[in-house]
Amino acid sequence: MDVLELARTQFAVTGSLHFLFVVLTLGLAPLVAIMHTRWAISGRPLHEGMTRFWGQIYVVNYALGIVTGLVMEFQFGLSWAGLSHYAGDVFGAPLAMETLLAFFLESTFLGLWIFGWGRLPRLLHLACIWLVALTAYASAFFIMIANSFLQNPAGTVERGGRLELVDWGALVANKAFVFSFPHVVGAGLFTGAMVMVGASAYHLRRRTPDAEFFTRSLRTGVVMAAVGIMITVAFGYAQFAGVQEDKFSAKTWAAVPLGFMIEFGQLLALVVLFVMLPMIGVLHRWRWTHPLLIIMTPVPFVLAVLGWLAREVGRQPWMIWGKLTVADALSPGLTPGMVTASLIGFTAVLGLLAIVDYALIARMVRRGPRDLALGAPAADAPRSPALSL
């Protein structure tokens, strides 16, 4: 492959691996906040346990996801200097806001929530996790603004060979943004909920002694999965009203991942809305359904990556639609050897982080809600490799 194809491959691989962390973070954050709210209102140990168990999984995924985000930022500067030169004043602003929110505000509130257990007032502690969820979605908001600008450079003019922003409101009202952001929100919620469903089904099939715990988690997951898939499908179809002509035609490679995403997404929507949701009261007892629920767990991740690939590939050969080609956005002076080396390095780092992330999550799921490190008094907290990260 030439240097351009290698750079495109590098971006596709790093973006896809990073998105695996992002979509789960967006899904689990509001779910943990909802469970914490239940606990704050009821004071029941069951709700506290659910908050600590699912919150611990969220913390691990967030911590490792931050590292993958740093790799994404680095490869932008390494491979796409032409984009920064031509549109850095526009594209960089929402990325800077996302960095401020994700790396500073969100991590600060999450730290307060983790270490404020038993130290902060009850309502203030609850506010921290809701602020974590809010800043997570604000981070996604600015990332989607930046990405939608690439799809449709609204609110800008070209002066002196560079793009300048003349209307911030046009970025927010961008036709490529107004439906894509809720679509991503719904996909994240659906993914996080299906992780809850799959993990709960695993324990219920094993006739766990924590049956009430995972029955409640299963029901919560099914309800939120139904909400998430409805949002995803509705706003997914709504996006087509603002898509450029022939962007997803049968002549483009973007039609392949898009087709798979639509077909399997519709099938999942039917299963969740017309099978799982009506049977929510008996799913915990029907052990024959539990292997099917476990198998369904990774499917939302696959669909999310396919959707991202369709959105990005559909823009080719443009980096900024109608303004800057991918070839012109490439950093000058790159050689195939340089990009190959960075591709191997980035893929190894992100792949290892993904393996570690899901191995730790699987380990915590298998262990169940016993001896949880999150929220435990310092003297009683077990030595957990998950939270030590």
Contacts of 277-281 with C-beta under 8 Å, sequence gap 24+, read 277/222, 277/223, 277/226, 280/219, 280/222, 280/223
Tell me the three state secondary structure of residue 157: strand
What is residue 244's DSSP assignment?
P
Residue 235 C-beta-side C-alpha neighbours within 13 Å = 20
Reading phi first (left if > 0) and then psi (alpha if -120 to 50, else beta), residue 372 is in: beta
| pLDDT band (50, 70, 90) for residue 265 | confident
β-pairing, 156-159 vs 162-165, is antiparallel
**Can you tell me the mean pLDDT for 237-244?**
75
**Residue 192: pLDDT band by 50, 70, 90 thresholds?**
very high
Q: Which two tokens stand for residue 12?
A: 């596709």
Quickly count: other Cβ atoms within 10 Å of residue 377's Cβ: 8
Predicted confidence (pLDDT) per residue in 73-105, tens digit: 788 778 899 999 999 889 888 888 888 877 788
pLDDT of residue 77: 78
Residue ranges covered by each domain of the chain: 179-310
Note the pLDDT tens digit of each residue in 298-318: 999 999 999 888 888 888 889
Torsions phi, psi of 373, nearest 5? -80, -40
Rounded to an integer, the average pLDDT of 183-211 is 93
- Name the residue among 172, 179, 138, 178 with its Cα closest to residue 155: 172
Of 36-50, 295-309, 365-379, the range with the lowest mean pLDDT is 365-379
Instruction: Give the helix ranges, DSSP H, for the chain.
Output: 3-42, 45-79, 81-99, 107-115, 122-151, 168-172, 180-205, 211-238, 255-271, 290-296, 299-313, 326-329, 336-367, 385-388
Tokens of 39: 């606990």
- pLDDT, one tens digit per residue, over 170-190 is 999 999 899 999 999 999 999
- Asked if the model's pLDDT at residue 375 lies above 60, the reply is yes
Q: What is the pLDDT of residue 153?
A: 93
Which pLDDT does position 253 carry in this prediction? 66
Name the average pLDDT for the chain: 89
* Between residues 109 and 207, the one the model is more confident about: 109
For residue 92, give both structure tokens: 């960089």
| DSSP for residue 260 | H
Whether the per-residue pLDDT at 295 is higher than 80: the answer is: yes
Q: What is the mean pLDDT of residues 346-374?
A: 92
- Could you tell me the maximum CA-CA distance found in the chain, to the nearest angstrom? 69
Q: Is the pLDDT of residue 389 over 50?
A: no
The confidence band for 222, taking pLDDT boundaries of 50, 70 and 90, is very high
Q: What is the pLDDT of residue 386?
A: 45
CB 196 within 8 A of CB 54: yes
| DSSP per-residue string spanning 176-208 | TTTTHHHHHHHHHHHHHHHHHHHHHHHHHHTT-
Instruction: Tell me how far CA of residue 53 lies from CA of 73, 123, 180, 368, in angstroms.
Output: 31, 20, 31, 8
> pTM value?
0.91
Q: Rounded CA gap, 33 and 51, in Å? A: 8
Please state, in angstroms and rounded to a whole number, the distance separating the CA atoms of residues 205 and 207.
5
| Mean predicted confidence (pLDDT) in 111-130 | 94
Q: How far is CA 118 from the centre of its chain?
A: 30
Higher per-residue confidence, 261 vs 231: 231
Mean pLDDT within 372-376: 84
What does each C-alpha distance from 55 to 58, 133, 270, 370 come to in angstroms?
A: 5, 12, 29, 14
- Is a pLDDT exceeding 70 seen at residue 109? yes
